[in-house]
Chain A
Amino acid sequence: MVPFKLILELILSTLLSLGRMFTAYVLSLIIAVVTGVAMAKNKYIESILLPILDILQSIPILGFFPAVLAIFITILGPVTGGEISSIFLIVTSQVWNMIFGVYSSIKSLDPSIDQLISVYKLPLIYRLLYIYIPASRSSLAANSIISWAGGWFFLTSAEVISMGRIEYRLKGLGSFIISAFENRDTVAYTIGLLTLFTIILVSYLIIWNPFTMRYTGVKTLLGFMRIYGVIEKAFARIWSLIIEKLIMAYSVIRGKIIVIQLYFLIPLILLYLYHTKLTLMTNNLYSEITKYGVEFLWALPLTLIRVYSTVIVGLVLSILLAYISHTRFKLGVLIVMLGEILSSIPAMMWWPILLPILRGFPYGVMMFVYLQGSLWYTFFNILLFGVSSLKENILELSKIYGIRGRYYLLRVFIPSLLPSILAGGLSASGGAWNASIAAEYFQVGGFIVDMGGVGSLLYKQTLAGDILGVLLTSFLMSLVIIFINKTVWARVLKKISGYYVIE
Chain B
Amino acid sequence: MVTMLLSRGDIIEIVGVSKSYVSEGREIKVLEDISFSVGKEFVSIIGPSGCGKSTLLRIIAGVEKPDSGKVIFHLSRKPTIGFVFQFPTLLPWMTVLDNVILPLIASGVQKSRAIEKARTTLKIVGLSEFEDFYPSELSGGMKQRVNIARALAVEPDILLMDEPFSNLDPLTAESLRGEVLDIWLSSILPIKSIIMVTHNVEEAVLMSDRVIILSPRPARVLKIVDIMVPRPRTRKMPEVQELVDKVYEYVS
Contact = CB atoms under 8 A, between A and B. Distances in A.
B213 to A, nearest CB: 25
Nearest to B162: A115
Contacts of A363: none
Interface stretch (A42-50, A130-138, A480-488): A130-138
B106 A113 contact: no
A122 B102 contact: yes
Given A119-B81, A121-B107, A130 B89 contact: no
Given A118-B63, A120-B102, A120-B103, A130 B83 contact: no
B103 to A, nearest CB: 4
A113 B61 CA distance: 15
A224 B61 CA distance: 49
Contacts of B81: 119
B89 A116 contact: yes
B83 A119 contact: yes
Given A112-B85, A251-B108, A126 B91 contact: no
Contacts of B73: none
A110 interface: yes
A123 interface: yes
A123 B89 contact: no
Interface string A93-135: 0000000000000000010110110111111001000110011
Interface string A290-332: 0000000000000000000000000000000000000000000
B63 A119 contact: yes
Interface string B58-92: 10010100000000000000000101011101010
Contact of A123 (B85, B106, B154): B106
Contacts of B87: 110, 112
Nearest to A135: B93
Given A110-B89, A130-B91, A251-B108, A115 B102 contact: no
Interface in A60-118: 110, 112-113, 115-116, 118
A389 to B, nearest CB: 18
B91 A131 contact: yes
A110 B91 CA distance: 10
B104 to A, nearest CB: 9
A255 to B, nearest CB: 12
Given A115-B85, A116-B85, A137 B106 contact: no
Interface in B82-132: 83, 85-87, 89, 91, 93-94, 102-103, 105-108
A122 B108 contact: no
Interface string A221-248: 0000000000000000000000000010
A105 to B, nearest CB: 12
B106 A120 contact: yes
A131 B89 CA distance: 12
B137 to A, nearest CB: 16
A126 B102 contact: yes
A137 B102 contact: no
Contacts of B102: 120, 122, 126, 130
A113 B91 contact: yes
Contacts of B107: 120-121
Nearest to A109: B91
Q: How large is the interface on B (under 10, 10 to 19, 20 to 34, 35 or more residues)?
A: 10 to 19
A235 to B, nearest CB: 15
B93 A134 contact: yes
A252 to B, nearest CB: 12
A130 B94 contact: yes
A453 to B, nearest CB: 47
B115 to A, nearest CB: 15
A102 to B, nearest CB: 15
Interface in A348-388: none
B86 A134 contact: no
Contacts of A118: 63
B89 A126 contact: no
B85 to A, nearest CB: 6
A121 B91 contact: no
Most buried by B among A120, A130, A134, A251: A120
A135 B93 CA distance: 8
Contacts of B106: 120-123, 126
Nearest to B154: A120
Nearest to A115: B85
A120 B107 CA distance: 8
Looking at A113, A115, A118, the one whose CB has the most chain B CB atoms below 10 A away is A115
Nearest to B108: A251
A401 to B, nearest CB: 32
A119 B159 CA distance: 12
A442 to B, nearest CB: 47
B228 to A, nearest CB: 32
A123 B61 CA distance: 17
B1 to A, nearest CB: 33
Nearest to A119: B83
A112 B102 CA distance: 15
Contact of A115 (B63, B93, B154): B63
A130 B81 CA distance: 21
Contacts of A247: 105
Interface string B154-170: 10000000000000000
A112 B103 contact: no
Contact of A134 (B91, B103, B105, B154): B91
A112 B86 contact: yes
Interface in B24-44: none
Nearest to B160: A119
Contacts of B61: 119
A242 to B, nearest CB: 16
Contacts of B108: 251
A390 to B, nearest CB: 21
A368 B3 CA distance: 87
A115 B103 contact: no
A115 B103 CA distance: 12
B89 A112 contact: yes
Nearest to A247: B105
Interface of B: 58, 61, 63, 81, 83, 85-87, 89, 91, 93-94, 102-103, 105-108, 154
Given A119-B63, A119-B81, A123-B106, 8 more contacts: A112-B85, A112-B86, A113-B89, A115-B89, A120-B83, A122-B103, A134-B91, A137-B93
15 contacts: A110-B89, A112-B87, A112-B89, A115-B63, A115-B83, A115-B85, A115-B89, A119-B61, A119-B81, A120-B83, A120-B102, A120-B154, A122-B106, A131-B91, A134-B91
The 10 A-B residue pairs whose C-beta atoms are closest, nearest first, are: A120-B103, A134-B93, A112-B89, A119-B83, A118-B63, A122-B106, A126-B106, A116-B89, A112-B87, A119-B61
Interface of A: 110, 112-113, 115-116, 118-123, 126, 130-131, 134-135, 137, 247, 251
